[in-house]
Structure 1
C-alpha cells in the first residue's frame, strides 16, 4: 500500500505540460491539474479510469479481481474499436464472494483464474485489476502476478488502481505507470526505423483513428504503438523504439509521454486530429520531430503536399454546409482535449461558440480556449443541469454537443443534441471526420422533428368555433333535417 501511495504522489507531481515547463520550480511541481482528494470519485473512480486506458488493448485478457459488480459496471465503458482481436470484449472476473473474503481465498482464486484464462485463450498477456475490496483486504496482487508469470510463461501485469484512491483521471495515469513498469521496453523489435512514432491518449472511438492512420501511411510514417486505441501487446512492448510521439489527451497519459522521453529520448508534442487546421498542424509537427531525430528532411515537402491536397478536398465538401450553418450557435458541454480542439474546428466553418465546459481540461487546454475565443465569458468550469436547461430553453444555442449524461436536458428544452463523447456512433477525427461532424450537426439542427415538438400540443390549442355553410347537397339535406327536428322539439317542449 505504501508503494501505491508513493506512486500516486508521483503522478500528482507532473511537470511535463508544455506551458508548465516555463514555470519556476515551485509552480511546476503543481503539475497539470489540481490533485483530488482520495475517494473523490465523482465521474468515475480510479479503477474505472485504469480500465478505460487499458481495455482497448485488444489481444490482452483483462481480469478484474473483485466481486462481480465491479466488472459489470466497467465492462465496455468506451466505444473503442478493434481491427482484429476481440479478446478484450470478453469479461473476466474472479467473482469474489463474502465467503472468499472471510476465508482468505482471494489470492488462490486469482491464481486459479489466471491459469484458466491461459489454458482456454492463450493470450499474449493478462492484465489484473484489483478493486476497493481486494485492496482493502490486503491481497498481494503483485506477488500473485509475479508467481503466475513464472509458472505459466506469459506476462501477468498488475494494475494497481483500486477505486478508492481517487478519480478516473488518476486511474488513467496509474494505468500509464503500469505500462511503463511492466510492458514498455520488454521486447526489442527487429524492424525499428527512422519513421516510427507513438500516438498516446488516442482511444480510436468509433474507429476514428482509422481516418488518420492512412494519412500517416501515405507519408511513410509507421505508428509503432497507438496507446491504447486498437493496440496490441507486442506493439506496446516495443514502443520504446519509436523516434517521436504525439500526445492526444494530456489529461490521461502525460506522465507516460514525459517518462518515455526521459528514459528513451522520445520527444513528444500535444496535438489534436479534430478540425482541418489542427489535423494539418499535427502532421507538420510529427514530420518536424522525425527530421530532428534523423529522418530525411524530404518528408517535410511530402507532408505539405499531402496537407494541401487533403485541405482542398475537405474545404470543398464543407462549402456545401456553410450556408446552412454559418452563424448557428453551439453549446459545448464536454472537457479534455475536445474543449479546445472542437471549438477551433467549429469556428473554422463560421459556427459561433456560446459556451464550452472545461471541467476535465488542463491549464494548457484552458489557455488554448482563451486564445481561440478571446473571451472568458464563454468558458465555464461546470454548469448545473438547471442552468443548462435555462440556457437551452431560452434559445441561446441552436444545438448542444455533449455526452449522453446531459442529452435529456437538451431534449426537455426541445433543442437539438449531438453526442460527441465516447458513446458516439460516428468518427470525427481527421479531414473526413471533420466533414462528418459538420454533416451530423447540420442534420441535427435542420431535422424537421424540432419544428414539430416546439409547436403547442393539440389539447393546449383552443380553436375558435365558427359557423360554416354546408359544402355539398348531402350536407345541406342533413342540416335541413336537423333544423326540422329541432323545430318539432321546440313545439313539443317549448324553448329553453
Structure 2
C-alpha cells in the first residue's frame, strides 16, 4: 500500500498542466521526475527547501521545521520576500532533534514544539515541515498535526516534503499540495467582488508585488490572495472564491491553478510581470478573464488607458539609457519564467542576449524564447541547457558577453573574469517587476556596466607595472651593451 507521500508525489507527476509531463509516455510518466540528487551536493536545493521557499512568504504563519537545526539554518531567510505586516515568518522555528530523538522517535518533541509556538506566538496557523531525518525514522507528522489541531483549536498543517523526495521544483509542488489538502477552501472571505483574482507563484521578492498592486488598484481589481508573497493564512484559505487565477512563476505551483479550476471552475493563465510589453499583456489578460466572469465591460477600456500612460512613461525613462547600452551583450543564467520574460525586457532596452539558460524551463518556456529572440525551430545556440562555470568564464573572458545576469552562486565566475555581474534571482535587493521595475533593471545594468571599478581591476597592479618597467629598462640596457662599438 502506497504511503501518503508516495501518493502525493504520484499525483504531482500526473499533473495535466505540466508541459514536460504531457509529452511523456505512460512508462516515463510513472517514473516521474526522478532525477537523483548527488549526495553531498546541496546546490540547487532539495524538496524540503522547495516547499519552504514556496510557503514561507505566507507572513503571518509560524513555519516549524521538524528536523536537525541545520535544515532550518540552511533554509532560513534566504530570500528577500517582503511583508507589509507580520514578521513571524522570518523567525526560525525548529524541533532541533538529536541522537536520542532518532533512536526513540521525535513525535512527542514535535507536539511540544507546536504547543510552545502557539502559546508564545499565537499565529493563525502553524506549518510543520518534514525533513530527511524525521522522514527516515518514520515520524508521522500528519497524525501529530491532526492531534494538535484538535487540541489547540488552530490549523496545524503538515508539509510532507522531505529532502530525499526529489529536487526543489518537486518541493514547490509538494508545498502546493499541502495548501490544496489542508488550507484552500477552509474559510470564506468577508466579501467578494467581480474583480477578485489570485496571483499564484509570486513571492514578493524585494517587494515586487507592491509594484504591481497599484496598477491593479487603479483598475479596481482586487488581489483576493497572493500565493504566497506577502500572503495571509485567511486569504489563502478563502482564495477559492476568486474569479480568475494568474500563474506567475513558470509552473512551480501549477497544481494549485489546475486543481482550483477542477474544483471551483476558476480559469487561469500564465503571465509575466517582467518587461513593458509582457506587463501590458498580463493586464489585458486579467481584464479579459474578469469581464468573461462578470466584471463590467468598461474594465477593458480602463486597462487600455492605463497601459497607454504607463508604457509612454516607461519608454520615455529608458530612452536615456539606450545610447549607453547599444551593442552591449548579456549572458542570462537563470531559468523558468525569467529565461524568456527577462529576455523580452532586455531587448526593449536595446541589449542583445547572447545566451539564456533553459535548465529549469518548460517546453512552453523554450518556445517563447525562440519566438522572442527570433530563433528558428532548429536553432538552439542561444539556449543553454547547462553551462559549466568554466564555460561561463571562457565566454566572459573572450568578451562574447559584456555582463552576466545570474543568481549569487555564479557571481564569482564573472568577478574572476573581471566582468560586470548583476543578481537576477531571488537574493536580489531590487524589485524588477512591472513598468517601474523595468526602469530599475535597466538602471542597475547601466550602473554595473559603466562602473569605473572595472577599468581599475583590469589595469595591471602597481607592482606589476613597476616590474614591467624594470624589465623594459633591463632589456634596453642589455641591448645597448650588446650593440657594436
Could you state the TM-score of these two structures normalised by the residue count of structure 1? 0.90
* Separation of aligned partners in 1, 2:342 and 2:407: 14
* Separation of aligned partners in 1, 2:146 and 2:348: 52
DSSP 3-state at the match of 1:320: helix
**How far apart are residue 38 of structure 1 and its match?**
5.2
Greater C-alpha radius of gyration: 1
DSSP 3-state at the match of 1:157: strand
DSSP 3-state at the match of 1:250: coil
2:177 is matched with 177
2:410 is matched with 406
For the Cα contact (< 8 Å) 1:251–1:361, is it kept in 2?
no
Structure 2 counterparts to residues 79-478 of structure 1, below 5 A: 79-104=80-105, 106-375=106-375, 376-461=380-465, 462-463=468-469, 465=473
1:210-263 deviation digits (Å, cap 9, x = unpaired): 101100000000000111100000000010000001100133101111001110
**How far apart are residue 12 of structure 1 and its match?**
1.4
1:76 is matched with 77
* Separation of aligned partners in 1, 2:73 and 2:190: 40
1:389-428 deviation digits (Å, cap 9, x = unpaired): 0000011111000011010000010100000101101000
**How far apart are residue 28 of structure 1 and its match?**
9.6
* Separation of aligned partners in 1, 2:104 and 2:406: 46
* Separation of aligned partners in 2, 1:28 and 1:347: 40
1:352-394 deviation digits (Å, cap 9, x = unpaired): 0010001111111111101111332111101011111000001
* Separation of aligned partners in 2, 1:197 and 1:71: 33
* Separation of aligned partners in 1, 2:356 and 2:250: 18
1:43-102 deviation digits (Å, cap 9, x = unpaired): 111000000001110000001111111111111121100010000011111111101222
**How far apart are residue 39 of structure 1 and its match?**
4.5
2:67 is matched with 66
**How far apart are residue 457 of structure 1 and its match?**
2.2
* Separation of aligned partners in 2, 1:29 and 1:300: 46
Could you state the TM-score of these two structures normalised by the residue count of structure 2? 0.92
**How far apart are residue 458 of structure 1 and its match?**
2.5
For the Cα contact (< 8 Å) 1:15–1:30, is it kept in 2?
no
Alpha-carbon RMSD: 1.8
* Separation of aligned partners in 1, 2:196 and 2:26: 31
For the Cα contact (< 8 Å) 2:20–2:362, is it kept in 1?
no
1:43 is matched with 44
**How far apart are residue 34 of structure 1 and its match?**
7.2
2:478 is matched with none
DSSP 3-state at the match of 1:78: coil
Give unpaired runs (5+ residues) of structure 2.
475-485
DSSP 3-state at the match of 1:70: helix
* Separation of aligned partners in 2, 1:349 and 1:449: 23
* Separation of aligned partners in 2, 1:89 and 1:272: 27
* Separation of aligned partners in 2, 1:34 and 1:77: 28
* Separation of aligned partners in 1, 2:242 and 2:108: 39
DSSP 3-state at the match of 2:253: helix
**How far apart are residue 27 of structure 1 and its match?**
5.9
DSSP 3-state at the match of 1:95: coil
**How far apart are residue 166 of structure 1 and its match?**
0.3
**How far apart are residue 208 of structure 1 and its match?**
1.0
In the alignment of these two chains, the number of paired residues is 461
* Separation of aligned partners in 2, 1:167 and 1:158: 19
For the Cα contact (< 8 Å) 1:14–1:30, is it kept in 2?
no
* Separation of aligned partners in 2, 1:14 and 1:38: 20
* Separation of aligned partners in 1, 2:407 and 2:201: 19
DSSP 3-state at the match of 1:158: strand
For the Cα contact (< 8 Å) 2:10–2:32, is it kept in 1?
no
Q: Residues 55, 127 of structure 1: CA spacing in aligned structure 2 closer, same or farther, 3 A cutoff? A: same
Q: Residues 57, 180 of structure 1: CA spacing in aligned structure 2 closer, same or farther, 3 A cutoff? A: same
* Separation of aligned partners in 1, 2:197 and 2:329: 38
